[in-house]
Structure formats: C-alpha cells, structure tokens
Amino acid sequence: MKQEFYEKLSKIVRKEQILEEEPMKKHTTFRIGGPAEYLILPQTTEEIADVIKLCRQEEIPWYIVGNGSNLLVADEGVRGVVIQLLRNFNQIQVEGCQIRMQAGAQNAAVAKRALDASLTGFEFAAGIPGTIGGAVVMNAGAYGGEMKDILKEVTVLDPNGMIRTIPAEELELGYRTSIIARKGYVVLEAVIVLKTGTPKEIKAAMDELKEKRVTKQPLEYPSAGSTFKRPEGYFAGKLIMDAGLRGFSVGGAQISEKHCGFVINKGNATAKDVTELMDETKKIVMEKFGVALEPEVKRLGQF
C-alpha cells in the first residue's frame, strides 16, 4: 500500500522532490521534531494541487508548512504528507509599486527586493523569520506594522481544488488571524502594495528594527518566535516575567532569560519538554494573574 502511494506521488513530482521519513527538526526553527512520513517539495501550483488531490483520494492526511518558524512538531513525527512551500516555490516579482510573491518566499528576501526597488512599507517584516504564506495566514506584524496594511490580494487553492484570487478586504485579517485557515485555503501567491521611498531611509529603518530584535530577542538559540499570543490588555512576556518564570526550564526547553515571551531550545529539547513548559507557564500565569495565555506556536503531529 505504501509503495503504491509512493509510486502515485512520483508521477506528480520527481522522486528527488519526495523525502521519506525526513526528520522535521531539520525543517523547523525550533530544531525539534520527529520524521515526516513524506516531505514533498513542489515547484508548481499544479504539483501542489495534484498532491493534495491524491491525498484526499487516498484518505492520507496532509499539511502545508513554510520554513517552520512558528511550528512545534511532535517527537514521534508526522504521519501522512507534509508539503513544504519554501525553496522551490519562492519567486518574487516587482511590478511598479507592487510585489508579487509565491507563498514560499521568505519575508527577509521580500524586504531585500523592496529595498532594491526603493519601495517602503515592508520594513516591519524584514526580521520576521517566516514565509509570505505564513505571514498572510497569520496577518504577521511587528513594530507597528501588519500584513493587512499592505496586502492587496491573495491567490489560494480552495478545498475543492479551485484556484481563487481573494481581495485582502475579504480575508478578515485580524490579530494573528484570517479566514484562510478556517476556510481550508492554501496560500499560493500574494500581492502587496508599497510606496516609493529612498533606499537610505528604508535601509536605516530596517537596520534599526534589526538592532531591536538582536538586543531584545534570544536569536542565538533555536525557537519558534513568540510562544504565546498577546492577551488583550497585557503582554505575554511581562506576565511570564512577573510570574517569576524567567529562566524556568523543563528538560532542554527554557523560558528565555533575555525575553520571557520566547521558549528556547537550550540543547536537545524535545516537543514534550516544550509542551510541558508551556502548560506549566499557562497554569502559573492563570493562578497568579487570572489571565489565560493562548499559544501562538502551531503544533503538528500527535500531542
């Protein structure tokens, strides 16, 4: 049965685009996670659509990932198919004041192209360690900017296998949310609209934000970025710090001493370590302050 499925996959994508039992810790910024039964590296929209169609026909679970920057993969790994939109699906085209990007384009690469084209408005996202697909789904934001401020439209694959282009105003973009995940859409491409600026000023803004990240965030350790969403009226990192949890650890996972909003992998942390640490943190913050922390990190696999 497994061989049959592999042969069907290999008729859609080349065999070198199919990685079997691939360790997901090599594909997440947390550097945590067991093997994916199949990791697929598609190059075209048609390949993505056909792989998903095959998975549905064969009743095989499938998942979309980017560069794994906001992801915690289970220690046992992931059964089924993980479709990675990254290196093979990352084209960026500048069209006047607009930039058209495939879902696997990294935010840093888009920021560099915007700078090269003297376009301003994307500086806030230059240091967000993810892809455009994830940025759109989560309405990524930082330092006062959000994707919804610059997004024009998104091209998606809907659950029926149809390709649709949806205007940004119909995506219900909010704090770390949109209708994309709720509707089961797969982001294929996005278009942002920027303004003309001067390279010197754009570069200065990017450098300033980079300096803030380097000095305030634990970039020297593997992590999945901000671990918890910002509770209304509070800051997750401050609540965790005020709860006395700075440096609190379980196994190889630790609340960063540099920024309490980050859980870091101090070395050989497991998904179990991270999960236990997050659960204990949520419990203590609730007990002390009556505030419920909601994870921002997505989980993949059985927990």
CB burial readout 218-248, b (16+ within 10 A) else e: bbebbbbbbbbebeeeeebbebbbebebbeb
Residue 2 burial (C-beta neighbours within 10 Å; 0-12, 13-18, 19+): exposed
Write out the two tokens for 155. 């091209």
Kind and range of the H or E run holding 6: helix 2-9
For residues 236 and 230, the answer to whether their CB atoms sit within 8 Å is: yes
The DSSP 8-state label assigned to residue 273 in this structure reads H
Q: Which amino acid is at 269?
A: A
The DSSP 8-state label assigned to residue 89 in this structure reads S
For residues 85 and 42, the answer to whether their CB atoms sit within 8 Å is: yes
CA distance 199 to 120: 9
Cβ count within 10 A of residue 200: 9
CA distance 49 to 54: 9
CA distance 225 to 127: 11
CA distance 32 to 50: 29
CA distance 152 to 115: 19
Positions annotated as catalytic residues are 176, 226, 296
Q: Which amino acid is at 6?
A: Y
